[in-house]
Chain A
Amino acid sequence: MAQAQPAPSSFPSTIPTDPTTHQTASTYISLTPHPLSASQLTTFVRSPSAGATVLFIGTTRDTFATLPVSSLSYTSYIPLAMSTLRSICSSLLSKHEIEKIAIVHRLGEVGIGEESIVIAVSAKHRQAAWRAGEEALEEAKRRAEIWKLEKFVGGEGVWRANRDGVMGVKVEPDEGKEGREGVENKGESGTLDVSEEG
C-alpha cells in the first residue's frame, strides 16, 4: 500500500485484493497481491519420498540495463495465466520425475528487492528437481500472461517484454496520474541486450 501519494493508476481494476489459488496434491499455484513466502512453498512440496527440493526466488531489481528503476508493478489476465501455469505444472509432472511443484507470482506494486516469483520443486533425486525447476521458470517467463511495468527514476514507465530482452513499450508520465488515462504511448525501439532475473 502506498502512503499519501496516489496509487499507481495503470491497472487499478485488474488486481484483486485476494489471491487466486489452485491446489492439488502435487501442484500449488497462486497469483497474489501479498508478499510471497518461500517457506510456505517449500513446506508444500516437502514429501517423504523426495530427497531433493529446489527453490527459486526471483526478486525485483533496481536497474534495467543501467537505468535506475524506482518501482515495479505486475498485472495479469488471471484466469488465462492460471490455466497456463497449470498446464506448465502438469507437463513438468509428467515429463520429469518430480513429486510436487509450486509456483507463485506477485501482482500489483512490488518494492525493489522483494520477491516477485517463487518456484519450489521436490523430487526423489536432485537432477530432476533442478531441471524441472529451471524449466518451470523459463516456461512461466515465456508463457504466463503476466506483465511487468517498470517505472524509472524520473517518472517514465516501460512495459517490459521478456521476449528478446527488448525494453518494451514506453509509457509517458502524465502529471498527477502516471499510467493510463489520456496517455499516449510510443513504440520503443531500445534493444538493450540484457538478460533478466527471475
Chain B
Amino acid sequence: MASGKSPLGHFSILYFAAASTFTGKSTEHLPAPVLARNLFTSLEQLYPGIVDKVLSSCAVTVNLEYIDLDGEDTPQLELMIKEGDEVAIIPPVSSG
C-alpha cells in the first residue's frame, strides 16, 4: 500500500474507488487523535460534499478491522483513531 508510516501525531487514511476519485488521492496523513465518530465531519471540512456523495455509502476500517459507528447495539462511539493507525474508506465493493 502507498501509505507508509505516518508522521508523529498523524494517522494514515486510505481512499479507494469513489473516495479516491473524490479526494484526488489514494492516501494521506491526518492529525491524530480523532474520535472515529468525528471522522466524516473532519473529511467533510477537507472535501465539501464528500459525506453526501461518497461517505454515506462507505464503511470504515481501522487497522484492517471494520468499525461500527451507527449500529444501535454496540456502536463504537468512543473509539479513538490514534497516531500511527491505518484508516480506510471502503466504498461498496465490485469484484468479479
Q: Do A and B bind each other?
A: yes
Which A residues contact B (CB, under 8 angstroms)?
Answer: 10-11, 13-14, 58, 74-75, 77-81, 83, 105, 116-117, 137, 140-149, 159-163, 168-169, 171, 179-187, 196-198
Total A-B Cβ pairs within 8 A: 114
By the criterion CB–CB under 8 Å, are A141 and B96 in contact? yes
Residues of B within 8 A of A159 (CB): 17-18, 21, 91, 94
By the criterion CB–CB under 8 Å, are A144 and B95 in contact? yes
Interchain CA distance A8-B64 in the complex, whole Å: 27
Residue B33 is within 8 A (CB to CB) of chain A in the complex: no
Residues of A within 8 A of B18 (CB): 159, 168-169, 185
Instruction: Given A79-B64, A80-B90, A162-B95, output 18 extra A-B contacts at Cβ < 8 Å.
Output: A13-B2, A13-B26, A13-B27, A77-B14, A77-B88, A116-B95, A144-B93, A144-B95, A148-B94, A160-B94, A161-B91, A162-B93, A180-B24, A185-B53, A186-B53, A196-B96, A197-B96, A198-B96
13 residue pairs bridging A and B, Cβ less than 8 Å apart: A10-B21, A13-B27, A75-B20, A140-B95, A140-B96, A144-B93, A146-B94, A147-B16, A159-B21, A161-B91, A161-B92, A182-B24, A183-B21
Chain A interface SS verdict (over half): mixed
7 pairs of A and B residues whose beta carbons are closest in the complex = A146-B95, A161-B92, A147-B17, A169-B18, A160-B94, A13-B2, A148-B94
By the criterion CB–CB under 8 Å, are B53 and A14 in contact? no
Residues of A within 8 A of B61 (CB): 77, 80
Which B residues contact A (CB, under 8 angstroms)?
Answer: 1-2, 14, 16-18, 20-22, 24-27, 52-54, 57, 61, 64, 88, 90-96
